[in-house]
Amino acid sequence: MIPELGQGMLLVALGLALAGAILSAAGGRTGRPALVESAQHAALGVFALITCSFALLVYAFLTFDFSVRYVAHNTNLGTPFWYRITGVWGALEGSIILWGWMLSLYTLIVILRHRERARELYPWALTVMLAIMAFFITIMTVAAPPFSRLNPVPANGRGLNPLLEDTGMITHPIALYLGFTGFTVPFAFAVAALVTGRLSDTWIALTRRWTITAWYFLSLGLLIGGWWSYHVLGWGGYWAWDPVENAAFMPWLTGTAFLHSVMIQERRRMLKLWNISLVILTFSLTLFGTFLTRSGVIASVHAFTQGSIGIMFLSFLALVVLVALGLLAWRWDALKGQGELDSVVSRESAFLLNNVMLVAAAFTVFFGTVFPLLSEAVRGVKVSVGAPFFNSVNIPLFLGLIFLMGVGPLIAWRRASLDNLRRNFVGPIVVGVVGAAVFYALGVRSALAVLSLALTVFVAATIGLDFWRATRARLRMGESILPAMTGLLARHNRRYGGFVVHLGILVIAVGVTGSQAWSVQTETTLKVGESASLGGYNVRFDRLDAAEESNHARVVGTFTVANGRQPAVMQPSKKYYPQESSPIAGVDYWIGLKEDLYLVLGDFTRDGRQATVKIQVNRLVTVIWIGGLILTLGTVLSVMPERRKAA
């Protein structure tokens, strides 16, 4: 009964979403507020229904209702309580419901925040959001119904994919989806702007915080995914240019471009075409990302093949792209720039170059991801390009982008004079070059690593220079140093929030550079009592043990590790789940600031006397996660309400 109720609610929600979209569009067209209000009520109804439906699904999970097919596939009697809740979004049907729920929540927030302030744009933005929700609810009711039943009821379920029994895997989809769905809002307002012809920066100013928040959650999702990959999957890496990773990275790249490009439109009314194109591109890429993950079109470790869902996603993606680009073509004249670029050496130019490079990177990732399809379509041969391709093209682009991070915020508008360039950049360039020399002297030989670190120093110097000059100006006016600094941060939180985010990116870049350049690994087989060394660590194999847990069994290898200091014990394991045809690796690691020690248990003999172990010393990986924290702080600072009064 309860599952039928849940499915019925979704069906009603679909009707409401469609009705609401039509009402809102009619309200926008005719200007009658009553229609828009009805649409608002419909949106509220959709939110309530999806929330209840979601709650019923969670209830089915918690009560082991194996009559529901989705529950039987994702839990069994041994699944721990907490994972019975988080397992709800562990597979296709549940993740679509999560997406739909987030969309409905965002729609409510849009209603509450914008219905008064954006009279012209708001009805159309609401229409777009309800229409997109209607699509996702259609998936929930037609292609991937979460409540379909099994009869007779199996006595037990299959169980959650063991890789998902991890905190990273709980938070990663949530962060990623908050990011993906978040971009729906700027997209909706962009479409509203195109439809109404109000292409000034109103739609941008309204959605600024949405864009930053969505961008942040996407960044967070990517970082958590990298962290999960690093800690759980057992290959010691955090990024593999896997198609599904790429699917989330592409909208991040174009989203970053969009985030920056809109600043130019706000200040100088330029790059309008770029901004509309970027938001359309970003939203389309979020849909493409879901399509890629759910349709099995590209071979990937993560892809789940589900029959009709891929076709539905592709059709909807096609609809969105063609309609949005059609509107863009229709409004072409209004979008053509009001200002021309005065000089190549200017802030506008730097931001334009930023756009170009980020889109180039996104294109590269897209090209590399669909290359197998392309080569098969064109030449009949299936060819793929792996990590070397992505790295060889993207690394120069990323280095260029880091350089621009230092140039953009400081270079003058319109046309930078020689004096302006000298004042702002000579110092940091000198610092960067000195930094390069220092790194070289310290023993860094990889040219790429030296360049990367030198650029990081350069950008950090520009940030420091800017902050110092502003602080000094305040000190001159009689303030003491600490209030001066905090006052700056509070009064100009957008600017300095951005700087802190840039610092976070720099820290991440340092971590990536270090881990790629200086990590070492080895694999060796040890008998009981034998040791191996790597990177200053001595690893001795002590014993093997076997134990049974509630829903799995495991073999644990005990190793004593010493690196000159106090020896300690590490216990990598292999976990055997009844529903999986092979064991899952349980990595054990020590996290440090400078380096992580990483142990993976491989093969072992049945008498427990011999084990093969993979040892990695991964350098500066923790720095990446710290960069993520700094990114968080910067984002929070950025979105805080601005103080108009003097601090």
Query: Which CB, 22 or 360, lies closer to another protein?
Result: 360
Dig out the tokens for 83 from the structure: 């994972």
**Range 85-124, binding another protein (CB under 8 A):** 91
* Distance from C-alpha of 553 to C-alpha of 625, rounded to nearest angstrom: 31
Q: Of these, 326, 529, 536, 567, which contacts another protein (CB under 8 A)?
A: 326
Q: Check residue 524 for interaction with another protein (CB under 8 A).
A: yes
Query: Which CB, 213 or 558, lies closer to another protein?
Result: 558
Piece of 45-53, 194-202, 311-319, 406-414 that binds another protein (CB under 8 A): 311-319
For the bound state, the minimum distance from the C-beta of residue 144 to another protein, rounded and expressed in Å, comes to 14
Query: Which CB, 34 or 373, lies closer to another protein?
Result: 373
**Range 375-434, binding another protein (CB under 8 A):** 376-377, 381-390, 392-393, 396
**Range 4-23, binding another protein (CB under 8 A):** none
With 0-12 / 13-18 / 19 or more C-beta atoms within 10 angstroms meaning exposed / middle / buried, residue 486 is exposed
Query: Which CB, 5 or 318, lies closer to another protein?
Result: 318
Q: Check residue 608 for interaction with another protein (CB under 8 A).
A: yes
Piece of 17-25, 57-65, 214-222, 336-344 that binds another protein (CB under 8 A): 336-344
Question: What's the 3-state SS for 220-270?
Answer: HHHHHHHHHHHHHCCCCCCCCCCHHHHHHHHHHHHHHHHHHHHHHHHHHCC
With 0-12 / 13-18 / 19 or more C-beta atoms within 10 angstroms meaning exposed / middle / buried, residue 1 is exposed
Q: Is the dihedral of CA 79, 85, 90, 93 positive or negative?
A: positive
Q: Check residue 345 for interaction with another protein (CB under 8 A).
A: no
Q: Are the C-beta atoms of residues 136 and 97 closer than 8 Å to each other?
A: no
Q: Are the C-beta atoms of residues 348 and 264 closer than 8 Å to each other?
A: yes
Piece of 68-76, 114-122, 201-209, 251-259 that binds another protein (CB under 8 A): 68-76
Please list, in sequence order, all residues whose beta carbon lies within 8 angstroms of the beta carbon of residue 570, skipping any fewer than 6 positions away: 539, 558, 559, 560, 561, 588, 589, 590, 597, 599
Dig out the tokens for 343 from the structure: 């000089």
For the bound state, the minimum distance from the C-beta of residue 191 to another protein, rounded and expressed in Å, comes to 14
Q: Of these, 15, 296, 427, 464, which contacts another protein (CB under 8 A)?
A: 296
Piece of 49-57, 121-129, 302-310, 414-422 that binds another protein (CB under 8 A): 302-310
For the bound state, the minimum distance from the C-beta of residue 575 to another protein, rounded and expressed in Å, comes to 10
* Distance from C-alpha of 388 to C-alpha of 584, rounded to nearest angstrom: 28
Query: Which CB, 108 or 314, lies closer to another protein?
Result: 314
Question: What's the 3-state SS for 609-630?
Answer: CEEEEEEEEEECHHHHHHHHHH
Query: Which CB, 280 or 506, lies closer to another protein?
Result: 280
For the bound state, the minimum distance from the C-beta of residue 63 to another protein, rounded and expressed in Å, comes to 16
- Indicate the helix (H) or strand (E) that contains 59: helix 33-62
Nearest to 506 by CA among 362, 620, 598, 617: 620
Q: Of these, 26, 62, 105, 328, which contacts another protein (CB under 8 A)?
A: 328
* DSSP string for 32-44: -HHHHHHHHHHHH
DSSP at 444: -
**Range 27-66, binding another protein (CB under 8 A):** 66
Q: Of these, 437, 546, 569, 591, which contacts another protein (CB under 8 A)?
A: 546
Q: Check residue 544 for interaction with another protein (CB under 8 A).
A: yes
For the bound state, the minimum distance from the C-beta of residue 557 to another protein, rounded and expressed in Å, comes to 11
Piece of 37-45, 125-133, 559-567, 572-580 that binds another protein (CB under 8 A): 572-580
Angle, vertex CA 303, rays to CA 301 and CA 308, nearest 5: 160
